[in-house]
C-alpha cells in the first residue's frame, strides 16, 4: 500500500486529534490507589528476625532490597550473609541463603496489611501464591510480618 501526501493528511489529522483528546494509551491507565503512596520507592533491609533451629527468634545477618511501584508492582531480594542458616517454619522463602520474588501488591489500609501476589520467585512453590503481610510504618522504617500465626519472622525495611 502506497500513501501519498494528500491521502495521508486525513490520517495524520485523525491521529493528532486522538492524541490531543487524550484517547491514547496513557489515558487508558488508571491512577494508582492512594493507599500505595507510603510504600512506593526502594527500601533496604535494616534487620530480619526469624526462628532458628532452636525454635527461638534470632536476628540474622543479611542484606536486601524491597521495591514498590505506584502501579502496584513489587520486588524483593534478600541475601543471608551466612549460608548455613535456613528458613524455618511451614513456608520456605529462600534457597541457598537467597530470596528473590516479584509480582503485584494490593494494600488494605483498614487492616494494615498488603497482599503480595507472587508472579515469579527463586523458590518455585511460591509462584501463584497470595502472601498477606502485616505492615507498620514508623519514621522512615516499615516493619513487615506474616499474617500467618505459624510464621514468626519480622523484617524492617528502611527508606533509601
Q: Return the CATH number at 95.
A: 2.40.128.280
pLDDT of residue 86: 52
Cβ neighbours of residue 134 closer than 8 Å, sequence gap 6 or more: 112, 113, 144, 145, 146, 147
Give the pLDDT confidence of 116-125 residue by residue, as tens digits.
Answer: 999 999 999 9
Half-sphere exposure of residue 99, counting CA atoms within 13 Å on the CB side?
22
Band of pLDDT at residue 6, cut at 50, 70 and 90: low
CB atoms within 10 A of CB 18: 12
Average pLDDT on 48-63 reads: 91
If asked whether residues 45 and 63 sit together in one domain, one would say yes
The whole-angstrom distance between residue 73's C-alpha and the CA centroid of its chain comes to 5
Band of pLDDT at residue 34, cut at 50, 70 and 90: confident
**Pick from 43, 42, 59: which is nearest to 51 by CA?**
59
| pTM to 2 decimal places | 0.75
pLDDT of residue 149: 93
If asked whether residues 26 and 38 sit together in one domain, one would say no
If asked whether residues 71 and 3 sit together in one domain, one would say no
Amino acid at each position: 500500500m502506497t500513501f501519498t501526501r494528500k491521502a495521508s493528511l486525513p490520517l495524520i489529522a485523525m491521529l493528532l486529534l486522538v492524541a490531543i483528546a487524550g484517547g491514547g494509551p496513557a489515558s487508558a491507565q488508571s491512577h494508582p490507589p492512594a493507599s500505595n503512596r507510603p510504600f512506593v520507592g526502594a527500601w533496604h533491609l535494616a534487620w530480619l528476625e526469624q526462628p532458628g533451629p532452636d525454635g527461638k527468634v534470632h536476628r540474622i545477618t543479611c542484606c536486601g532490597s524491597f521495591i514498590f511501584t505506584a502501579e502496584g508492582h513489587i520486588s524483593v531480594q534478600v541475601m543471608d550473609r551466612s549460608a548455613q542458616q535456613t528458613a524455618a517454619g511451614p513456608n520456605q522463602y529462600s534457597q541457598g541463603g537467597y530470596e528473590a520474588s516479584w509480582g503485584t501488591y494490593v494494600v488494605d489500609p483498614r487492616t494494615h496489611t498488603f497482599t503480595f501476589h507472587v508472579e515469579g520467585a527463586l523458590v518455585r512453590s511460591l509462584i501463584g501464591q497470595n502472601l498477606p503481610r502485616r505492615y507498620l510504618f514508623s519514621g522512615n522504617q516499615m516493619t513487615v510480618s506474616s499474617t500467618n500465626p505459624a510464621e514468626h519472622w519480622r523484617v524492617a525495611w528502611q527508606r533509601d
